[in-house]
Structure 1
């Protein structure tokens, strides 16, 4: 082939294609080229391509340009491509911008022995690596070569890679090492190339096989969950990537934790141990194929949570930080996950105390209650407790898997002022000048009763001579004295009586009651009965003196006559005093006129108190009527006893005294 550059345009090309060759042994292609112009300008470029199995030409394996004198130059080409593969040599001449001179090729020979001027490459083997690793190609050249000559690794698309290292194995052997990043897109055919002015050497195409490490398509399947373990099925029947799978592993971590662990798995099911209760875990399967970097990315994760475990133990450190009469402020150790072993838990504070049930048997009722405590709280205030009472408290830690209760701790609330003495417990017995009062201890003593305080004051009296309200008096009683005898009181007087108990905290509420003393019979202010003032055949005149009311004013005066046989005389009786129905010598108030005229005595007059403001004479037998009673004239032949009696009526009670 000859090209006259002056007759062609810049950049025009001429090609010479040899027939396809498929050789079984080492051989050498030899040819001569001519590049010359008279003025020394370059006539153009001459390039040589090796096309394998009808594929792309790739990059030029040898090229020359410029003017090399008016002579032929011999070049050798060592192609290490053998049957059943075939290759084709393509010569390309391109015209330069100077457009002067000649480009020629001649004497193309196929020799059945190795080249002398250039080396031959040993067979380049396929390289299989996993994606993400570096593939290493080693090109071994035998023959005439030096370390200074360029060694290249050419990809089928023409991209070339420079050698990372060149090593002389012997005086005739060199090894060039190439590193290719083996990503998925880098899978292709590669060959070794070296060139010099003497020619070029080209190896066979070797395949870079990039395997994708396997990854499961589906996440593991949960078979069973426990507090500290998860049993899973690997679920690796379907994968993305390349096999074979030579190792299976599981990678797991807590969802909220940065750390992870990897365990080798020898079966299709696996039990992941030593997990934390009630914790969410992400579990993925790792598959590994042969070769470095053969472990694929983790498969889709199984997101699962372990079950809660029973609380580690009961809560401790239950103490009272503040004790008051009606409340307790309690605290205990802080709560932590290592104690609850579950994120879903509750804390209950349970307490009990006894309270009087009422009745005479003295039985006690027990109050029990459990209160819920807010999460993350380690203190609580119990309110509305009874004072001075033993309160038994315990803590309960509960989660879905179990419950732990602490030992019961007893606290005692402080004393408080006592409750009031029950008004219905106040019982009393009134007399005319005394009252006996009795009471019971308060139902809610709220502590130790140290004393009772009793106050009393006259507030009302039926006796006009008594000044009311009277002075208020106070008496203190010992704790075991629940009674008192009031003395020196006024008859017929109402007293306001109060009773209250006391503890170390003070007095409680006051119980009030009103008690009225009984009235007394009226009294006469003289000892001896005076002698009659005068007598006649049918009358006797006596001196009547007024009586003094005690607790109630005198309601009426009565003159009673008792007949005796014998000569008439007046017998003076001694002063007598009687309460109705007592059986003394005084005479009861008659219920009718018939009763007023009995065989033994008769009522001869009834006088109102207003008629007797002072000592006044009265004639017995003056034949007059006094308040319905006939003052019958006396019989001169009979003896008479004349009685004078005073009557006081108060609230249905009648008392009288006589003389």
Structure 2
């Protein structure tokens, strides 16, 4: 604004002019404040322009001489400057502090936006964890630092970020920076935990690591444990635990298992902070031949020509018993049954019989239980001669 000359009255003052680079621009008088101002200034040259300005008075169509001139520097529109000295400081597992320096404001207001993202999670395609936050700057001080804190990030994840400065004329971006959040224990389970190559005595497990956004750091090992409590092994409990010390290892084979046994297995991933939740799997080993003989084999004589054999199933049947084989006295008698009792008839009175009983699964026959029994004496009377 310009103060009017005191020697002119308001009635005499019609218009003021000032000259800028040989261009006359009309100024208007505010009769309330007795100040002169310019309306609706528009610039067609971007960037900083230097203007030499003078003022003259127009009274009833007559022009006065120009006043002493002054130089005015006008900032026209232009792209913002790129921020410098971009710095990041990780605060905890989910927050980071970002700082940068604004060398100067080209054309205010300027908005500085921090963009950040991580392409770490892949689930049904690529999922980007991203966001932005901004600071609006009006000051024209040079080399001013600005900062902000970003919260709600993913633990242990590496992010890329950049700062975009924007005004009415466009925007410019910094180069990318990176930061990695502090680790915490994983909150994701290993994926595709499966068993294959299953036999009666071993099985192989395979898996994939947890989704990267749920690892919360670098996976350094896996913990595999398997246990069972099988009714057929009521006096035996087995617990197998293994530490797989390799983040690249994604398979492991368990040996020395029990046949036809249901195992409950758990697999957990661990980073440098601790172990995360476990994936679970139930798997049953295949059948095998029985490892033990039938229990409690007993032979009872019911007559001079009959024996009754009874027994119970093996402690370790290793499968489903499909039949029993009974042999007595050098294969004189053979019998097969699915029951636990058999009656042998037509035997010789008062004779010892040694019998064996073996259990069969679909895979094969197991060891035999052996016992001996004797038929009763004969009750028949035979004629005989008495010598005189």
Pairing partner for 1:274 from 55, 63, 73: 73
Pairing partner for 2:69 from 250, 259, 263: 263
2: CA distance between counterparts of 1:397 and 1:371? 12
Whether 1:454 and 2:224 are equivalent positions in the alignment is yes
On the 8 A contact 2:202/2:255 being kept in 1, the answer is yes
Structure 1 residue 545: Cα displacement: 6.4
> In structure 2, do the counterparts of structure 1 residues 317 and 405 end up closer, same or farther at CA, with 3 Å as the change threshold?
same
Whether 1:502 and 2:270 are equivalent positions in the alignment is yes
> In structure 2, do the counterparts of structure 1 residues 462 and 219 end up closer, same or farther at CA, with 3 Å as the change threshold?
farther
Report Cα offsets for 1:313-366 as digits up to 9, x if no partner.
211121113343433221122x5xx7223332211111233225358xxx9665
> In structure 2, do the counterparts of structure 1 residues 343 and 645 end up closer, same or farther at CA, with 3 Å as the change threshold?
same
> Which secondary structure state, in structure 2, belongs to the residue aligned with residue 492 of structure 1?
coil
Pairing partner for 2:107 from 330, 334, 342: 342
1:354 maps to what in 2?
119
2: CA distance between counterparts of 1:131 and 1:321? 61
Structure 1 residue 439: Cα displacement: 2.0
On the 8 A contact 2:292/2:316 being kept in 1, the answer is no
1:120 maps to what in 2?
none
2:385 maps to what in 1?
none
Alignment of structure 1 residues 287-306 onto 2, 5 Å? none
Whether 1:371 and 2:136 are equivalent positions in the alignment is no
Alignment of structure 1 residues 260-659 onto 2, 5 Å? 263=69, 273-275=72-74, 277=75, 307-311=76-80, 313-333=81-101, 335=102, 339-357=104-122, 367-373=129-135, 378-444=146-212, 445-458=215-228, 460-463=229-232, 465-467=234-236, 470=237, 472-479=239-246, 480-523=248-291, 525=293, 548-551=314-317, 555=321, 557-559=323-325, 571=331, 606-609=337-340, 611=341, 618-619=343-344, 646-647=359-360, 654-657=362-365
> In structure 2, do the counterparts of structure 1 residues 516 and 364 end up closer, same or farther at CA, with 3 Å as the change threshold?
same
> In structure 2, do the counterparts of structure 1 residues 369 and 621 end up closer, same or farther at CA, with 3 Å as the change threshold?
farther
Report Cα offsets for 1:235-264 as digits up to 9, x if no partner.
95445xxx9754123xxxxxxxxxxxx527
Which of 1 and 2 has greater Rg? 1
> Which secondary structure state, in structure 2, belongs to the residue aligned with residue 548 of structure 1?
coil
1: CA distance between counterparts of 2:288 and 2:235? 14
On the 8 A contact 2:308/2:344 being kept in 1, the answer is yes
On the 8 A contact 2:117/2:159 being kept in 1, the answer is yes
Structure 1 residue 488: Cα displacement: 3.3
1: CA distance between counterparts of 2:359 and 2:171? 87
> Which secondary structure state, in structure 2, belongs to the residue aligned with residue 392 of structure 1?
strand
On the 8 A contact 2:288/2:319 being kept in 1, the answer is no
TM-score, normalised by the number of residues in structure 1: 0.40
Pairing partner for 1:225 from 29, 36, 42: 42
On the 8 A contact 1:214/1:245 being kept in 2, the answer is no
On the 8 A contact 1:496/1:513 being kept in 2, the answer is yes
1: CA distance between counterparts of 2:269 and 2:253? 18
Alignment of structure 1 residues 30-179 onto 2, 5 Å? none
Report Cα offsets for 1:71-129 as digits up to 9, x if no partner.
xxxxxxxxxxxxxxxxxxxxxxxxxxxxxxxxxxxxxxxxxxxxxxxxxxxxxxxxxxx
Structure 1 residue 542: Cα displacement: 9.9
On the 8 A contact 2:262/2:285 being kept in 1, the answer is yes
Report Cα offsets for 1:23-72 as digits up to 9, x if no partner.
xxxxxxxxxxxxxxxxxxxxxxxxxxxxxxxxxxxxxxxxxxxxxxxxxx
Structure 2 unaligned segments of length 5 or more: list them. 18-25, 27-38, 139-144, 295-300, 348-354, 369-388
Highest relative contact order (Cα 8 Å, sep 6+), 1 or 2?
A: 2
1:41 maps to what in 2?
none
Q: Count the aligned residue pairs.
A: 314
2: CA distance between counterparts of 1:412 and 1:399? 30
TM-score, normalised by the number of residues in structure 2: 0.63
2:350 maps to what in 1?
none
Structure 1 residue 498: Cα displacement: 1.3
Structure 1 residue 308: Cα displacement: 4.0
> Which secondary structure state, in structure 1, belongs to the residue aligned with residue 219 of structure 2?
coil
Give the CA RMSD over aligned residues: 4.6
Report Cα offsets for 1:195-236 as digits up to 9, x if no partner.
xxxxxxxxxxxxxxxx97995323552685336557999795
1: CA distance between counterparts of 2:197 and 2:346? 45
Structure 1 residue 411: Cα displacement: 2.3
> In structure 2, do the counterparts of structure 1 residues 274 and 621 end up closer, same or farther at CA, with 3 Å as the change threshold?
farther
